[in-house]
Chains A and B, each alone.
Chain A
């Protein structure tokens, strides 16, 4: 009996494999569409991993990546031995935490607000306006913000004067510069970041709202008890992905907006790596820094994933 029972199991397994193959063949068209993305991923994300080895080498242009001599952890020792590196690391970390804590919830809030708008056209217009800054480069925006925030001629200063306050030099003060970076970053990315949540919101079952309405739930209660729990998995996954960015800074933004007065807070690792790596051709050093950051990033993602799974059962893995 037993062997008889085992037979169909093997047969089932075989047919399962065949079934999978058949499915692959059946959807070959869709797989073909996927190929360019896979190739792109391999070329731009996997092949460059080969170059990470120069973090452990004294990279010589003529010898190339493979031919350069190994130096163990010498490059890391050198980088970690520089006080300026730790200053830049600290600046990056502070900026990263600020961006995460303030920047992460903003698109969720915007999506929730947009979701409550009943007038379709008004909603679409608002959405479009909120996306627009995403398409403007930082080099353009930095000039714009310098003008907007100018304590003498900027409109922000004019508002200050209107209420009888002394205008503030936001771009030139160490105490405010980080906030300028965070706020402008939120302004630029909030609309674009809300797309994912709006998509998640569109999938929420409308019948739940109707039932809640009959039960007499207020608008706020509907958001709190229906909308938020419904998009919680999406928010969690976005948070896990975002956690890695705690050690990444927005090079384009910081580089273009910084000035001599705020150097001590604006010297972030992105700018530092650019200056030693690209301008001074110290490729081993800049690779070592990037690798170091990637390791932290990866650890952060893993940690957030684990915590999230423990707390609310959602996670990527």
Chain B
């Protein structure tokens, strides 16, 4: 009896083991078992190390008759470790280059291979069509050098929304202001009250209007985004701007434009008035999670422009459909949570970028260009093997099609039947969620979560269909974002940019605090910037844009 039971158990185990990977997705038409088996060294975005037998790896290996090897490279050291692979002549076949500014260096080093976009068009249509539908394929050009394609750029569509403008609503009410400021003058009046009318009610004059990040609102009122000195360096900050008010836009480096100079004068005046935290130099974040503005949380300032809208969302700002199909209040975002822990009786409110003297308004938005996927020269030289990789990426990018039927098939392939690991939030828009977050109790989910979804390669740019994105759209945060034109590095930028950014920040601080005179020392500033390579970097960028117009 025991023997029979054991046999049944073994059979059941064997069956379940094989059936787990025997399901062939209806999406895949080709029979790959008749084709040669290929091996790939495939890099990924790693939150946790990838298990060799992760469910999704097996799924892809069995579906496409390939052998996928994943080097577990810790994300923080990705480039350093990647380079050791390249030096050892073992370049990964698929490379998720997380910092696009390094792209040109890898091309220059001949570490990555070029390929024909026709192959991408034919074998990776989800990505190709998605990119072509978005700003006429403009972003595809970020993966090419001198007309030759070396990479597949991906967009972070969450960055369509500009940085949030937030105020302490409780303070506003206390100083008798009902609505968030709409103009630069209104902003000034509110910040003045924040500074001098004791909004925190402790009887001591220890509050200010804004600190370093809040300055973005002022720069934006003059139409510029020179990059605030916040430790997350803005790339280059080239813009098209009607700097001389003649009705036509010129190509400018934001931090040497006349508009920037005017904004600096406003900030200098506000600094002298005491509206700006004199300690803005050491920033709003004093360690820990980067998004947090400790100055705001700890009652030093009443307004800031930092991180992303979702960090600042308060509980109940909008609702979403939970796994039971019912509407539920959204929880507070990471920064809001910190704020409410410290100040449980207060409230945060979102505002708009204020309008300046020439009718401009806006604040910085993070770069849309997120990563560039690149391939080893060995892979792109072997067309059949490259095509198979493209087909695998197409298989994994189905989540970004926006087509509920294709997405459903994708979910079934990767997560099993509906109601297990996943559920529809809104089937019509293709919005879905996972029923269980990763935890020790759900090791199966861990295996899936460790590896898979569309992160095998680039996906099509698609604006979020979730309630959070809808909320950001309702705030109007899709408009008035100021994006830097160049979201990757040209050779001269790679050479001079770091030092120029440091110099620019150094002068910015001195102009605002009055150590240098904005009018009197402006020429000296321009001269030093030019001597440090600004002219070379500017001309190179201008030539690049002139050639792409």
Contact = CB atoms under 8 A, between A and B. Distances in A.
A169 B499 contact: no
A150 B109 contact: no
A218 interface: no
A281 B102 CA distance: 8
Contact of A263 (B110, B494, B505): B505
Contacts of A143: 286-287
Contact of A150 (B279, B494, B503): B279
Interface of A: 60-62, 64-65, 83-84, 139-140, 142-143, 146-147, 150-153, 169, 171-172, 259-261, 263-264, 267, 275-276, 278-281
A278 B279 contact: no
Interface stretch (B61-69, B80-88, B146-154, B447-455): B80-88
Given A60-B110, A146-B282, A264-B506, A84 B499 contact: yes
Nearest to A60: B109
Interface in B517-537: 531-532
Contacts of A84: 499, 532
Contacts of B105: 280-281
Contacts of B283: 259
Interface residues of B, number: 36
Nearest to B298: A153
30 contacts: A60-B109, A61-B83, A61-B109, A62-B86, A62-B109, A62-B110, A64-B89, A83-B531, A83-B532, A84-B532, A139-B287, A143-B286, A151-B278, A152-B278, A171-B281, A171-B282, A172-B279, A259-B229, A259-B283, A260-B505, A260-B508, A261-B510, A261-B513, A263-B502, A263-B506, A275-B499, A276-B498, A280-B494, A281-B79, A281-B109
A275 B498 CA distance: 7
B72 to A, nearest CB: 21
A18 B11 CA distance: 71
Given A152-B206, A260-B508, A281-B102, A61 B86 contact: yes
B475 interface: no
Given A279-B498, A280-B495, A280-B498, 15 more contacts: A61-B83, A61-B106, A61-B111, A62-B110, A64-B89, A83-B531, A142-B287, A146-B286, A151-B278, A152-B278, A172-B281, A172-B282, A260-B508, A263-B506, A276-B498
A260 B506 contact: yes
Contacts of A279: 498
Contacts of A64: 87, 89
A261 B280 CA distance: 10
The 6 closest A-B pairs by CB, nearest first: A260-B505, A143-B287, A263-B506, A260-B229, A172-B281, A261-B509
A172 B106 CA distance: 38
A125 B499 CA distance: 46
Nearest to B208: A152
A172 B279 CA distance: 8
A143 B294 CA distance: 12
A287 B105 CA distance: 18
Contacts of A65: 87
Contacts of B106: 61
B435 to A, nearest CB: 38
A263 B281 contact: no
A236 to B, nearest CB: 39
Contacts of A281: 79, 83, 102, 105, 109
A83 B282 CA distance: 27
Which of B105, B110, B495, B499: most chain A CB closer than 10 A?
B499
Contacts of B206: 152-153
A176 to B, nearest CB: 13
B113 to A, nearest CB: 11
A172 B282 CA distance: 7
B195 to A, nearest CB: 13
Contact of B506 (A61, A139, A261): A261
